Copies of this chain bind each other. A is one copy, B any other.
Amino acid sequence: MSRPGAAAAELRAALGDTNLLCDAGDLASYAADGRGARGTPAMVARPASTAEVAETLRIAFAHGLSVVPQGAATGLVAAGIAGDGEEQLLLSLDRLNAAPQIDAANRTAEVEAGVLLSTLNAAAEPHGLGFPIDLGADPSIGGMIAANTGGARFLRYGDVRRNLLGLELVTAESEPRTLTLGAPVWKDNSGLALKHLAVGSSGALGIVTRASLALSRLPAARISALISLLRAEAALPLLERMEAQFDTLLTAFEGISQAAIAAALGHVPRLRNPFPDGAPPYAVLVELSGGRCVAAEWLQERLTDILAPMLEDGVITDAAFDDGGDLWAIRHAVPEGLRASGKVMACDICLRRGDMMAFRAEMIARLTKSEPRLKLHDFGHIGDGGMHFNMVWPESSGAFDPDAAEAARAMILRAVTQEYGGSFSAEHGVGPANARWYAEFTSPEIRTLAGKVQDLLAPMPLGRVDFGMPQTRNAE
C-alpha cells in the first residue's frame, strides 16, 4: 500500500521544502511530453545530486510509490511522464545540471543528466567541438540516453549509444546503489557491457545521473541541398551515388514526401518554397560537411558533379542550395505542418534501405484500399533506413475515427515487422506509447529474458515500461 503523505514528509526533509512539488499548478508543468501525452503524478521530486536521487528512490519505494524519471519532457513515447490515476512520484532531473566539463584533448564531456543538449553544445563550441546528435527538440542528456536518440545526422555520427563512453546509474532497488559503468576513454573492453542496458531503456532500468560523452569536431564547412525528384524511387540510386562520391562527408540524407513538404510549406508561413512549381513529387535534403581541408565552394562543385547528369536525365527536376538553415527549416517544420493538417498517426519505423521505396508503394496501395480517409505524409532519415511513416487524418475526411486510424497503424507496423523484418521503433524507444507493439512483436523468450534483466537492475517499480511478460514483475 502506498503512503504518499508519509513519503512527502521524508522527501521534504531530504531534498528541502521547495524541491518537492505537490501543488496542482506546480505539477502541471511536468505533466506533458513532446507529443502531448499527459499524466499527472502524485508529486514531483527535484533532487540536485546523485546521492539525492538515490535517497529519493529509497524513500519512494519504502512508501510504496512507483517512480518515473523525467528529463526535459521532449520524448515522443510518454516514457517520461507519470500515468494518470496511479501513485507515482515523478523524479525530475532538471536540477542535475552542473556546467559540463569539456576535455578538449580527449574530445569528451562529463555531463550531468539534467543538462540540456543546447547547454552541452554551448560549452563545447569554444573548443570547436559538439555533441553531434541532431534533432528538432532540446532534450536533456539523460533523456537522450533513455531514448538512444538518433536523429538526422545518424548517417555520419550514429546514435547516442555510439557516442556514450560511460555513465553513472542509480539502481531501482529498495536500497539503491550507484554504479559507475564505463569510463571517459574511447576503447574499453574490460568487462560486460552493462552500461548499454540503460541506453534506450525508456528510463526503466535505473536512473542515469551523469555521463561521459564523446564529442565530434564542429565542421569547418557545411552545405545543404534540397533536391526535387521526379519519383520517390530515384532517392535510393541518388543515395548510392552520394555515398560513393562523399563517403563520410555526407552527413544527412533526408527524404520528404510531396504531402509532407506541401503540409510544411502550406501551414508554416515563415518558410520560403525554393521550388517555383510547387511542392516536388519527392524531395531529398542532403548535407555535406567536413574539416578545414574542405571549403563550401569545393563541396558545392563536387555535389554538382553528381547532380548535373541526373538533372539532364530529368530524374532530378530542380535543386536549391544553401549553407545556412533555410532548407533545414523546411525539413524541421514538417511535423508542425502535419499537425496543422489534421490528426497525425505516427509510425517511427526502420527498414532495410533497399526496401524503403517498395514498402512505401505497397503501403500506399493498401492504405488507399483499406482506409482512404488517412493520407500518408511520410518523411525521415532515409539515408539510414529510418522513416517517419506518418499518416494524417484531415478534416476533409470527416470526424476522426480512432479505431479506424489505429487499425491502419497496426497494418503498417505489422507489415514493417512481419513482412519486411524492420523495426517498429527506430529512434523513439518503447515507452507506454509503443508497449502494445513491443508485446505483439517481441517473442515470449526475449521478453522473458528482458524482464529478468530488468528485475536484476530495477526490482522496484521504476519507469513506464515492463519489458517482461505480463505479471512477472513487482507482483507483490
Contact = CB atoms under 8 A, between A and B. Distances in A.
A384 B186 contact: yes
Interface stretch (A13-21, A314-322, A445-453): A445-453
Given A245-B291, A438-B191, A421 B456 contact: no
A106 interface: yes
Interface in A195-253: 196-197, 199-201, 205, 216-217, 219-220, 236, 240, 243-249
A293 interface: yes
A186 B237 CA distance: 18
A184 interface: yes
B291 A190 contact: no
Given A248-B249, A385-B186, A193 B161 contact: yes
Given A103-B352, A445-B177, A424 B292 contact: no
B217 A185 contact: no
A201 to B, nearest CB: 6
A450 B150 CA distance: 28
A291 B249 contact: yes
A467 B158 CA distance: 29
A434 B190 contact: yes
Contact of A190 (B177, B424, B456): B424
A58 interface: no
A246 B441 CA distance: 43
A159 interface: yes
A293 B223 CA distance: 15
- Copies of this chain in its oligomeric complex: 2
A201 B196 CA distance: 13
A381 B156 CA distance: 22
A193 B187 contact: no
A122 interface: no
Interface string A99-134: 000011111100000000000000000001000000
A412 interface: no
A449 B441 contact: no
Interface stretch (A2-10, A267-275, A330-338, A425-433): A425-433
A108 B352 contact: yes
A137 interface: no
B450 A192 contact: yes
Contact of A192 (B161, B197, B216, B293): B197
A285 B199 CA distance: 35
A88 interface: no
Contacts of A107: 243, 353
Contact of A291 (B191, B247, B449): B247
A162 interface: yes
A144 B152 CA distance: 30
A188 interface: yes
Interface in A69-117: 103-108
Between A381, A421, A423, the greatest number of chain B beta carbons within 10 A of the residue's beta carbon is seen for A423
B191 A450 contact: yes
Nearest to A247: B291
A290 interface: yes
Contacts of A154: 186-187
Contact of A350 (B186, B200, B219, B453): B186
Contact of A187 (B247, B290, B381, B467): B381
Interface string A7-51: 000000000000000000000000000000000000000000000
A164 to B, nearest CB: 11
22 contacts: A103-B354, A105-B352, A106-B353, A108-B352, A148-B193, A150-B187, A179-B445, A181-B446, A187-B386, A188-B350, A189-B425, A189-B430, A190-B425, A191-B442, A192-B200, A192-B205, A217-B247, A219-B247, A245-B293, A247-B290, A249-B291, A293-B302
Interface of A: 103-108, 128, 147-148, 150, 154, 156, 158-159, 161-162, 177, 179, 181, 183-194, 196-197, 199-201, 205, 216-217, 219-220, 236, 240, 243-249, 290-293, 302, 305, 350-354, 381, 384-386, 421-430, 434, 437-438, 441-443, 445-446, 449-450, 452-454, 456-457, 467
